[in-house]
Each structure stands twice: as structure tokens, then as C-alpha cells.
Amino acid sequence: MSFLPEIDTSINLPFGIGGIDLFGGGSQYVPTAIDSLISSISNYKLSYPFKYEISFIGESSSVKNLRLAISCESITLPGKSIATQQIKMHGPVHDIPYEASFAGDLDVTFKLSGDLFERNYFETWQDKVINPNTNNLNYMSEYALGMEITQLDMEDNPVYRCVIEDVWPKTIAPVALGDETTGNNKQQIGFSYRKWRVKNVDDVGFLQGIVNRLDLRGRLNRQITELFSDSPIPLIPTAVGGSVINLPWGFDASNISAQGGQMISNQLGDLLG
């Protein structure tokens, strides 16, 4: 049996002296690196790549924006570097910064819907950049939009948000088709942009705002509760997609998207306008 006290991970232990008296007499215990790591994770949690959402600022159709947000499979938070010039003064060479650099395209992967909505959307968007009939180039104000990327925590609360300015689809990647190809079709888009900036996260994100507006979880809970109100089958709180809803005992939670998603999507056009 260990004589060491159990670590209370609900308390964020400092990275210096922990203040835990192990042996009595006022002796202090200095936590090890693993103790500090455990307490830090317990206090700040971890960030996960699958908890995110995107939206296009300036897209007038909420339904189109919602479809793109849902079909977005992967995206990368953009980077930034400081361009420097080496200056030789007295002693070693100095790297002197002179401007911020936002080089590179933003690569995004979308799952293609059955009607190829995503590919058609970006092809139409590219036609606004250069007219396919006249080859005339339009002004950037006529085709560029903003893009908002929000990192969420496990409770779907926004913890980081960046706004990418002057976004437009530079590259529409080819989509491979074939008899032996498995899985669903995916469309890769390379976006050009001018710069990005950090935005306050006090406001809810686009997708979470839609969920709150439509009260999707509340509707589902109320409908299931009403459906099984006279049934002897107990309702069990079940975690589905990061949320807890009441499902009848024995119900396969993995079917909830297929069964409820179609019903919800049929009403989105009318509800969002």
C-alpha cells in the first residue's frame, strides 16, 4: 500500500511548491512533472481537432452556409510569420522584422452531398472571379467573402475564433471516380486569402446559433418523451454528438443521425428562410 496521498486533480497545482505536507512537521512536497501535467490538464482540459465549425461571412443564404458548415470535413487554422531582414551591425547579424506574412492557401475538404451541392457552389463562386464567357476579371469586392473558423470545447462553447479576410476559391481539386473506389466523394478546395485576425469569442458560433434558434435538442427530447410517455420502456440519458438526450432503453444511438437528421433537414429551408 502506498503511503503517498491521493492527488486531487480538481485543484490546479502550481508548477513550483505544491504545499502538500506528506510527513508532518511542516515539510513541503515539490510536485513532479507528471503531477503538474495532470493538474494542468484537469484545470484547462484539452483541445480536440473535431470540435470546430466554419461559416462564410457575407453569404446571404443561411441554408447554403449551413450545408457548407456541416459538410466541412477538415480545415486548418492558418499560420502567420514575421518577415525579417538580416542586418549586420557590431557583432553577430541581427534579424530585423519588417512585416507580417500570411503566405499559402487555406486547404479545406468537404464531403460531397448527393446533389454535388458543394462542387456546384464553388464552381459558381469561381465564375464570379473571372467571367467564363468574357474572361473579364471582376473586382474583389464582388466575389471575396470572409470565413470564420471557431474552435469549440467539449461543451460546444467557443474558445478561439479567427476571421479570414478576402477569401475566394482559388483551386477546385479533381474528384476521382471509379468502380472500385470506396467511401463517399470528397471535394478539396484551396482558398486564397489576404490575412486573418483573431475575433472575440463571447458570441456563439454559427452552427451553435442555429441549434439554439431551432431548439433541436429540446424538440427531440420532447418528442421522444411524449412518444414513450405511456410505454413501460425506460428512457435513459444518452450522450449523442456531444449532447445528452433521453433515449429509450436498447435504442442504438448511432442511428439518431440517420433517423432524425432527415426530418430536421427537410424543415431547415422553411425555418431559416
- Whether the per-residue pLDDT at 123 is higher than 50: the answer is yes
Task: Report the alpha-carbon distance of residue 153 to residue 51 in Å, rounded.
Answer: 7
Question: What mean pLDDT comes out for the span 224-236?
Answer: 66
- Whether the per-residue pLDDT at 75 is higher than 80: the answer is yes
pLDDT band at 7 (very low <50, low <70, confident <90, very high): very low
Identify the pLDDT of residue 22.
43
pLDDT band at 219 (very low <50, low <70, confident <90, very high): low
Name residue 191's amino acid. Answer: F
Q: Output the CA–CA distances (angstroms, integers) from residue 213 to 17, 201, 208, 217, in the order listed.
A: 48, 18, 8, 11
Q: What percent of the chain has pLDDT over 70?
A: 63
CA 219 to chain centre: 24
CB 83 within 8 A of CB 99: yes
- Whether the per-residue pLDDT at 91 is higher than 90: the answer is no
* Number of domains into which the chain is organized: 3
**Within a domain: 2:** no
DSSP string, 10-79: TS---SS---B-SSSTT--B---HHHHHHHHHHHH----TTSEEEEEET---HHHHHHHHHHEEE-----
**Within a domain: 168:** yes
Q: What is the pLDDT of residues 13-35, one digit of tens each?
A: 444 444 444 444 555 555 567 77
CB 125 within 8 A of CB 147: no
The residue that leads in pLDDT, 110 or 88, is 110
**Within a domain: 180:** yes
Q: Are residues 154 and 84 in the same domain?
A: yes
Q: What percent of the chain has pLDDT over 90?
A: 37
**Within a domain: 186:** yes
Identify the pLDDT of residue 247.
64
Task: Report the alpha-carbon distance of residue 16 to residue 29 in Å, rounded.
Answer: 10
Q: Are residues 25 and 119 in the same domain?
A: no
- Whether the per-residue pLDDT at 10 is higher than 80: the answer is no
Q: What is the pLDDT of residues 148-204, one digit of tens each?
A: 999 988 888 889 999 999 999 999 999 999 998 888 899 999 999 999 999 988 777
Q: For residue 152, what is the domain's CATH number?
A: 2.30.110
Among 6-15, 69-78, 201-210, 211-220, where is mean pLDDT lowest?
Answer: 6-15
**Within a domain: 121:** yes
Q: Are residues 80 and 197 in the same domain?
A: yes
Task: Report the alpha-carbon distance of residue 20 to residue 29 in Å, rounded.
Answer: 5
The residue that leads in pLDDT, 29 or 236, is 236
Q: Are residues 88 and 156 in the same domain?
A: yes
- Whether the per-residue pLDDT at 86 is higher than 70: the answer is yes
**Within a domain: 208:** no
The neighbour count for residue 125, using CB atoms within 10 Å, is 19
Q: Are residues 58 and 77 in the same domain?
A: yes
Q: Are residues 92 and 72 in the same domain?
A: yes
Q: Are residues 233 and 174 in the same domain?
A: no
Identify the pLDDT of residue 127.
96
Q: Where are the alpha helices (DSSP H) in 72-184?
A: 117-129
The residue that leads in pLDDT, 203 or 121, is 121
**Within a domain: 209:** no
Domain extent, residue 29, equals: 8-44
Q: Are residues 30 and 145 in the same domain?
A: no
Identify the pLDDT of residue 34.
77
Q: Residue 19 region, left (φ>0) first, then alpha (ψ -120 to 50), else beta?
A: left
Residue whose C-alpha is closest to residue 184's, from 112, 109, 262, 257: 112
pLDDT band at 112 (very low <50, low <70, confident <90, very high): very high
